[in-house]
Structures are given as structure tokens and as C-alpha cells.
Amino acid sequence: MTSAQDEPALAAAKASLRRRVLAARARLSPEQRAAAGRALRDAVLALPQTQMAGTVAAYYSIGSEPDTHGLVYALWKRGTYVLLPRLRPDMDLDWASYEGPDSLRPGPRGLTEPTEPSRGVPAVSRADLVIVPALAVDHRGMRLGRGGGSYDRALARVGPQVPTIALLYDAELVDEVPAAAHDQRVRLVACPATGIMSLPHELPFSSPMP
């Protein structure tokens, strides 16, 4: 557990890792990002837990994030009930259904959000699979987000048997992510080159960020 005197050091370590990850993402070409998105889409769609899921909570990627647009569309086309988040003023996440590309609108902070009626903050707890964004994940499953705490709150509502999967570029699976007691783990990670890995993993990784 992080003590009060450790909190500034932890925040600084997280901020440093975020800067390195975002700088590395900025160096990726559009072609590299598109290829990574296709590989992640195929890996997640082939996952048995995905194929058995009636409801999937996902997200609509923006900027340099690994592309999820094709994944969200493919899930919806094969009959999965897809939930996408809406960012609330308190930084928590509400959820609504995805009903195709025309069911989206611009949201706060550059996000793209669903236009369907709200399903409420607890809706994520009813998903059979939860797909989350991340900047980095370590071998314990600790996840680095953007710093708002939105997904830590959402993941805290997900039951212990529900698969939670973070989508990354290959170099973002790292040895250690700085973490506090309230930070939530993910149970799976998907990378373009290696596919799906269950976490925690016994062996350390060797992918330090540049």
C-alpha cells in the first residue's frame, strides 16, 4: 500500500512512464497503427471468452491508441451486445449500447461516445468480457491509464471471474507499472505480435520503454 509520503513519487513515476509511452506511440506510422489494430481485432475475436460472451464492454479508440473500431464493429455484426463508455463529469463511466457507426457522437476530451440511452454506471458489472484501454501493463496485470481513475473505478465493479483484457502495442508490456493500492489489475493482455496472454505471468518481461 502506498503511504502518504510515497504518493508524490508514485505520481511522478506514472507520469514519466506515460510520457515515454505516448512519445513511442507518436512515432508509429498510420500503417503500423492500422496493422496493430487488425492483429488485436483478430486475436480478441478468436478468444474463446469473446466467442462465448453475450455482452462485451469495450471502448472506441481515439488518437494513437491501438485501433478498436474494427473490433467493436465486428463484435456488433456477429450479434454481441456491445457497451461503450460515456465519461461523466465526475470522471466515472456511464455505459450505453453500440448500434453501428451511426450511433456515435463526439464526447468530452476528444472521446467518441454512444448516443443510445444510458445503461448506468453499474452496467459494466453485467458484461461477460471487458476490454479496456491501457498505456502499459506489467506481468502482474497492473495497468497504467491516463490518470483520471475512470477505468480503475469501472474495473472495481467487475466480478472476479469476468475476463478483463487490455489492448497494447508490443513494447507496452513492461517489467513493472508503478501502482497504488486502489489501482486495478487486468486479467489478460493482447499485443499484436504475441496475441493474448493471461496475467499474472510468472516470468518477467524484457520490453523496457525507450
- Tell me what pLDDT residue 5 has: 46
Pairing verdict, β 129-133 and 136-138: unpaired
| Model confidence pLDDT, tens digit, residues 55-106 | 999 999 999 999 999 999 999 999 999 999 999 999 999 999 999 999 999 9
Give me 164's grid cell: 478483463
* pLDDT, averaged across the chain: 92
Q: Is residue 135 part of a domain?
A: yes
Q: Is residue 204 part of a domain?
A: no
d(CA 125, CA 130): 9
Q: Is residue 69 part of a domain?
A: yes
Say what the pTM is: 0.91
Q: Where are the beta strands (DSSP E) in the chain?
A: 55-57, 81-87, 93-97, 104-106, 112-114, 129-133, 136-138, 143-144, 164-167, 173-174, 188-191, 195-198
Q: Is residue 33 part of a domain?
A: yes
Q: 141 in the Ramachandran plot: left (φ > 0), alpha (ψ -120 to 50) or beta?
A: left
Domain containing 129 — which CATH number? 3.40.50.10420
Q: Is residue 190 part of a domain?
A: yes
| Model confidence pLDDT, tens digit, residues 115-141 | 999 999 999 999 999 999 999 999 999
Q: Is residue 66 part of a domain?
A: yes
Q: Is residue 92 part of a domain?
A: yes
Enclosing domain of residue 59: 4-198
Domain count, the chain: 1
Q: Is residue 181 part of a domain?
A: yes
